[in-house]
Amino acid sequence: SYGSALHVALPQPLRAGQLLTLEIDYEAGEGPGVCWLAPEQTAGRQKPYMYTQGQAVLNRSFFPGFDTPSVKCTYSATVKVPEGFTAVMSATSWEKQEDNTFVFKMSQPIPSYLIALAVGDIVSADVGPRSRVWAEPCLIEAAKKEYDGVIEEFLAVGEKLFGPYVWGRYDILFMPPSFPFGGMENPCLTFVTPCLLAGDRSLVDVIIHEISHSWFGNLVTNATWGEFWLNEGFTMYAQRRISTEVYGSAYTCLEAATGRALLRQHMDNTGEDHPLNKLRVVIEPGFSLFLGVNPDDTYNETPYEKGYCFVSYLAHLVGDQSKFDAFLQAYVNQFKFQSITADDALGFFLEYFPELKEKGVDSIPGFEFDRWLNTPGWPPYLPDLSPGEQLMKPADELAELWAADSLNTEAIEAVDITAWRTYQLVYFLDQVLQKSPLPEGNVERLSKMYPKISEAQNAELRLRWCQIVLKNNLEAEYSKVKDFLHSQGKQKYTLPLYRAMWGGSESARALAMETFSATAPQLHVNVQNYVKKILGLE
């Protein structure tokens, strides 16, 4: 699944720094990095679609190249597509020529995994001075409505915090429903799941995450996939900095608490001392941190949330937010367009703050940088999320009320959840799920009382409601699980529901089999394989 090396014999030896042109004639299309969708896997269901997904090591099946994040280059491409189709790429310039040929150039050096192409029946609409949304015609209105004006606000805050946005445009491509990820931060053109079109702008934090990659990941890149936390931990930190500026610290802390709960869940599932639960992962040849290479290993919260805790710990050592913000800007400036190791990043941190280096902050017992990187387990330091408590406390109390043997209807009715924002509801549902199965009859009543939750169209709420339905074996609402799995194929939503069904009653298992046989053709091949594994169909 890794492909094989292409060895090229040169006619005569070259000297260092000499320029050469190498032309390789090749054909591609069947590999794991190139996804071909039948019309029924798209939103419009009329025309086929194709897209590439390079991260981590899949672009080698799309074009021959140095497929490692340690090498960066510019690229250009000429793409000819059939009549009625449009091609888009992660490039700084895009030009349509006659006979349906598109010409792309990326003028900034990027690692191979960020080169991306999509071809389909897609149209665009402007949503800001340097942003447009791309989508199938049936989704374009919803996309424009959801994102009009918001992207520029996030970009401007990002620039204020982390320095200039160097990629020119920031466009978003809403992918077909079978796209397995929340987002993929391809430069100039982020690919995102259509699940983000919640209709109420409640899931825009995913876009803030992808925008944050414009500095952390795309501009300063991990040199090896074993130190993926350099991309994701810094990006989570940056995302929450932008979110704090835009939405305030209470809401951001609540979102971070949801992230912490996912890390807890992940570590409970794998065991804390699992080798994947450290920030520096030794990648054996033949093993990758990512999808598609070794399906045994699934998506993992550690580089994201434990990485976020480590970056937060560095900020805590500095003790002054504006000083740490200035450091982040200097870090981006120091390493822009380069690929670095954790040692480079931490070495720069200590050089930038000589007084901390003097104090030996890299070896405080229990919090050693080496321990952060090389010891699996729960983060030694957790950032303070108490500003979120004003939003968490009412949610905790309400969940307690619903878990009681005899319901205190009066107390429940006194709590008005109509003004609660998505993450407050998500947090509430996470608490209800932890307390499930609830006493007899409580879930049915909860469902009736809060149609805002049980009838939600928001994917994050639907996921949790489906998990609650399964944990409480509420057969009357099994159809909601089925509908949700029919409507999208995002890995983060699909796998937990199949795990819950397979761990549930006979009828839940039957639901899993029935749903999978109906939806398998519309799922990404990696997600299909993961589900087969869960259902023991391998």
Residues designated catalytic: 210, 304
d(CA 343, CA 352): 14
Instruction: Show binding-site residues for a peptide.
Output: 53-55, 180-185, 490-492
d(CA 82, CA 496): 38
Burial tier of 295 (Cβ tally within 10 Å: 0-12, 13-18, 19+): middle
Instruction: Check: CB of residue 482 under 8 Å from CB of residue 493.
Output: no
Instruction: Show binding-site residues.
Output: 53-55, 180-185, 209, 213, 232, 490-492
Q: Please give the backbone phi and psi of residue 126, each rounded to the nearest 5 degrees, phi first.
A: -75, 140
| DSSP structure string for 386-446 | GGGHHHHHHHHHHHHHHTSSS--HHHHHT---TT--HHHHHHHHHHHHHHPSPSTTHHHHH
Nearest to 278 by CA among 259, 260, 301, 262: 301
**Residue 262 neighbours by CB distance under 10 Å:** 15
d(CA 52, CA 524): 12
Q: Name the one residue in this structure whose structure tokens are 């402007």.
A: 126
Nearest to 49 by CA among 64, 34, 62, 59: 34
Instruction: Show binding-site residues for Zn(2+).
Output: 209, 213, 232
Nearest to 188 by CA among 328, 102, 125, 94: 94
Nearest to 42 by CA among 143, 120, 126: 120
